[in-house]
Structure 1
Amino acid sequence: MRSDLQQILATTDFHSSFDNAVPLMTHLSAVRPNTLIADCGDFFEGTGYYRLGRGVLERDMLLALYDVVAPGNHGWPHYLESELHRITVCANAYGRDGRRLFRPVDVRSIAGRTVAVTGIIGVQAFNAVPYGQRVGQRVTDPALALRELKRAYGQVDAWVVLSHSGFEEDLRLAEACPFLDIVFAGHCHSDAYGPVRIGGVQVLKGYEQGAGFAQARPSESGWEAGAARFADASSLSLPNTLEAVRARITAIARDLREPIDKVRAPYRHTVLDRRLLLEDIATTVYSETSSAVLLNETALRAVQLHGTLTRGDVLAVEPFGNQLVSVNCPERTATSLVSDLSALAGPMVVVPSPLPSPLNAFITTDYLAGALHLPAVPTGRSLAQSVQQALTGGTR
């Protein structure tokens, strides 16, 4: 454990963005001798690097560069793996036995102050974890959990929270817990980076997907805090352990550049319109199966497409590995079903529109079926296959 720490640096929502990882890796390596390096969750998932590398790159980078991390909803099971579990903190997540899933706090000396660093995951973020990955687990109200933690660790000089709840939620958290000093935010992907002061609490967030960081340093008046982007440091050398990681990044990048077919209009040379693509997919599936189709916009990512579709493009558009499944729900009305799904996953694409009511059966993703605890039968088709077919006009 390093003894001359002067500041805390926090990243968030990296989402396996290894195309942009070298500036992050070099900067964190350079400041690590006197910096506590933290992450606010969702380091995993979001690109083909995760799908092809199965989380090994992300795990190795976290273990090589980071001191303490909060869990995110993406890649949730990885935080429970033995090596990452040792550096993960979360005060409000519990298992079926009623015990905390993670240690609640990491106490460090930073610039002469005893600082308690803890993590929390918001209720909405936790509910976004695929149901099968969180069976028997639960989270409590973050503010209540932090107040309980303060009673147990009263002899510290400062409190820092790594939050995976969203910036607006963290503003409310700061108001509910005025004893906090710094809240590093994550999860929301908003344009708010702060710092925003709520009484004596500062809420701030690093730039997502490997673009930047937030940092805080003790000062005579409290804490100096701010967010910044990583400078281009691609020419700098990396420690030997990270050179090995960079070599694996290069190898996977080569696989992701594999061409598939020409991108058809209207998707060519533009940022993907997720809703348009999902409407295209849903219409095709409905015409082939005569079953209603319900898909959430957040199942896909809006990425820049060019003239030729690559393997990496498909895995960037659909990075989550969702499968299409058939669901029977004889007791649900169409209106209540769409309302429940929208509350869980955001805007929905439905075909046909309006849906028949009652809606006895429909096709959706295994993620949404699991979220509603509905029994599902695989269709034998992945969402990624449908994405590729729609973008190229090819057959599945």
Structure 2
Amino acid sequence: MTAARRFQRIIATTDFHSAFDDAVPMLAHLHAIRHDSLVVDCGDFFEGTGYYRLGKGAVEREILTTLYDVLAPGNHGWPHYSEPGLREMTVSANAVDDAGQPLFDRLRVVEVHDRRVAVTAVIGVSAFHTIPAGQRAGHHVTDPVIALRELMLEHHHHVDSWIVLSHSGFDEDIRLAGACPFVDVIFAGHCHSDTYGPVHVGDTLVVKGRELAAGYAAAEPVGSGWAARTAVFPAPTTVPDELAAVDEEIDSIGRMLATPLGTVDEPYRDAILDRRRLLQDVASRLHTGLGADAVILNDTALRPTRLGDVLTLGDLLAIEPFDNQLVHALLPDRYADSPDSLLSA
């Protein structure tokens, strides 16, 4: 895929989360610049909207294999990175199996502006443990700092620069930069914070592109070091011919998501969803309708989506995009009179 291209820079996206409502600028720009740019992603390309729920990740896979060169696995959509076609593109220095063997290639060495550049990735320990247990069975993560130091000792003799794609959070990456001063650039992901950088930690740059298809981060060799920046995706004029089939599939799913389901109740109409209020209403209905003695709900399972006066399928899947389920469990007698103790049990 990359043999005929001469890379001048690295372009990094992160936390796309299947945000196809606003993806055309991203797709068009990546297509336009990839002829001389190594295009990478820092994780969580999958999951987060009805496009993923209905499309099962097929459109995301097509985009990744068409526009990208190197991937870091994120906690969302973790199983996809082991699929044929994506596995070969994925790198990780600290994801291992039960035997301690790497789950993915540990690094990729590419030439960027006449420098031999090692591109690797790490996933933060806390990020890894948010992956559903069934999806990460037999998988483990090691300390990112130790993993990167070991990798550097093995390969420092034949690379000039080190680039890390991190799915850990910006604050974690600041600490990572301090512990691994040999790294030139850390492209951050996972945190969805308002901090984008670039931030200097010694000679290391930490930078993050805007999430949800809004922007990207870029880094390129300058003098004896590196320069980094962030940018938003410019508005495109047309969708590239190479992406026409993908664009049609996105439009098809978009039409399904526009299906009306009913009228939005007055308290929620024409406003950003109040998650706590909705869950209180759900809990009340479970108490009165099912006779539940105790209801435990997590408001972070819902997204604060803006609603109009008509609820669409897309609205519903945007509010709860991760296919969570309510579990109705029978409580032991000892909890019948004091269900609050479940919270500390």
Deviation at 1:291, TM superposition (A): 3.1
State which of 162, 167, 174 in structure 1 corresponds to 2:170.
167
Residue in 1 aligned with 2:306? 304
Deviation at 1:142, TM superposition (A): 0.6
- Sort the Cα spacing of 1:208 and 1:331 in 2 relative to 1 into closer, same or farther, 3 A: farther
| Gap runs ≥5 in structure 1 | 335-351, 362-396
| Separation (CA, whole Å) in 2 of partners of 1:190 and 1:359 | 29
Deviation at 1:237, TM superposition (A): 3.7
State which of 292, 295, 316 in structure 1 corresponds to 2:294.
292
Q: Give TM-score, length-normalised by structure 2.
A: 0.95
Residue in 2 aligned with 1:281? 282
| Separation (CA, whole Å) in 1 of partners of 2:24 and 2:216 | 14
SS state at 1:225 partner? strand
| Separation (CA, whole Å) in 2 of partners of 1:305 and 1:358 | 34
- Sort the Cα spacing of 1:200 and 1:27 in 2 relative to 1 into closer, same or farther, 3 A: same
| Equivalent residue letter for 1:262 | T
Does 2:341 align with 1:357? yes
| Equivalent residue letter for 2:254 | A
- Sort the Cα spacing of 1:170 and 1:333 in 2 relative to 1 into closer, same or farther, 3 A: farther
Deviation at 1:302, TM superposition (A): 1.0
**Conservation of the 8 A alpha-carbon contact between 1:329 and 1:359:** no
Q: Give TM-score, length-normalised by structure 1.
A: 0.83
**Conservation of the 8 A alpha-carbon contact between 1:3 and 1:109:** no
- Sort the Cα spacing of 1:29 and 1:189 in 2 relative to 1 into closer, same or farther, 3 A: same
Deviation at 1:222, TM superposition (A): 1.1
SS state at 2:40 partner? strand
| Equivalent residue letter for 1:14 | F
- Sort the Cα spacing of 1:150 and 1:300 in 2 relative to 1 into closer, same or farther, 3 A: same
| Separation (CA, whole Å) in 2 of partners of 1:111 and 1:332 | 68
**Conservation of the 8 A alpha-carbon contact between 1:48 and 1:316:** yes
- Sort the Cα spacing of 1:331 and 1:87 in 2 relative to 1 into closer, same or farther, 3 A: farther
**Conservation of the 8 A alpha-carbon contact between 2:239 and 2:247:** no
State which of 113, 132, 141 in structure 2 corresponds to 1:111.
113
| Separation (CA, whole Å) in 1 of partners of 2:241 and 2:91 | 26
Residue in 2 aligned with 1:323? 325
Residue in 2 aligned with 1:394? none
| Separation (CA, whole Å) in 2 of partners of 1:95 and 1:66 | 26
| Equivalent residue letter for 1:34 | D
Please give the residue correspondences for 1:261-276 in structure 2 after superposition, counting only pairs within 5 Å: 261-276=262-277
Residue in 2 aligned with 1:18? 20
- Sort the Cα spacing of 1:157 and 1:332 in 2 relative to 1 into closer, same or farther, 3 A: farther
Residue in 2 aligned with 1:227? 230
1:39-81 residue CA offsets vs partner (Å, 9 max, x unmatched): 0000000000000000000000000000001001110000011
| Separation (CA, whole Å) in 2 of partners of 1:221 and 1:62 | 32
- Sort the Cα spacing of 1:26 and 1:358 in 2 relative to 1 into closer, same or farther, 3 A: closer
**Conservation of the 8 A alpha-carbon contact between 1:332 and 1:358:** no
| Equivalent residue letter for 2:80 | H
| Separation (CA, whole Å) in 1 of partners of 2:153 and 2:206 | 22
**Conservation of the 8 A alpha-carbon contact between 1:44 and 1:75:** yes
| Separation (CA, whole Å) in 1 of partners of 2:25 and 2:145 | 35
Percent of matched pairs sharing the same residue: 54
Does 2:220 align with 1:217? yes
**Conservation of the 8 A alpha-carbon contact between 1:118 and 1:162:** yes
Deviation at 1:221, TM superposition (A): 4.4
**Conservation of the 8 A alpha-carbon contact between 2:9 and 2:221:** yes
Residue in 2 aligned with 1:181? 184
Please give the residue correspondences for 1:57-72 in structure 2 after superposition, counting only pairs within 5 Å: 57-72=59-74
| Separation (CA, whole Å) in 2 of partners of 1:290 and 1:208 | 39
Deviation at 1:32, TM superposition (A): 0.5
| Separation (CA, whole Å) in 1 of partners of 2:123 and 2:343 | 35
- Sort the Cα spacing of 1:183 and 1:333 in 2 relative to 1 into closer, same or farther, 3 A: farther
| Gap runs ≥5 in structure 2 | none
| Separation (CA, whole Å) in 2 of partners of 1:81 and 1:301 | 28
Residue in 1 aligned with 2:141? 139
Residue in 2 aligned with 1:366? none
**Conservation of the 8 A alpha-carbon contact between 2:24 and 2:239:** no
Deviation at 1:128, TM superposition (A): 0.6
1:86-134 residue CA offsets vs partner (Å, 9 max, x unmatched): 1001110111232111101010000000000001100111001011101
| Separation (CA, whole Å) in 2 of partners of 1:331 and 1:45 | 39
| Separation (CA, whole Å) in 2 of partners of 1:198 and 1:214 | 17
Equivalent residues, number: 341
**Conservation of the 8 A alpha-carbon contact between 1:125 and 1:187:** yes
- Sort the Cα spacing of 1:360 and 1:186 in 2 relative to 1 into closer, same or farther, 3 A: closer
Deviation at 1:10, TM superposition (A): 0.2
**Conservation of the 8 A alpha-carbon contact between 2:97 and 2:140:** yes
Deviation at 1:218, TM superposition (A): 0.5
Residue in 2 aligned with 1:126? 128
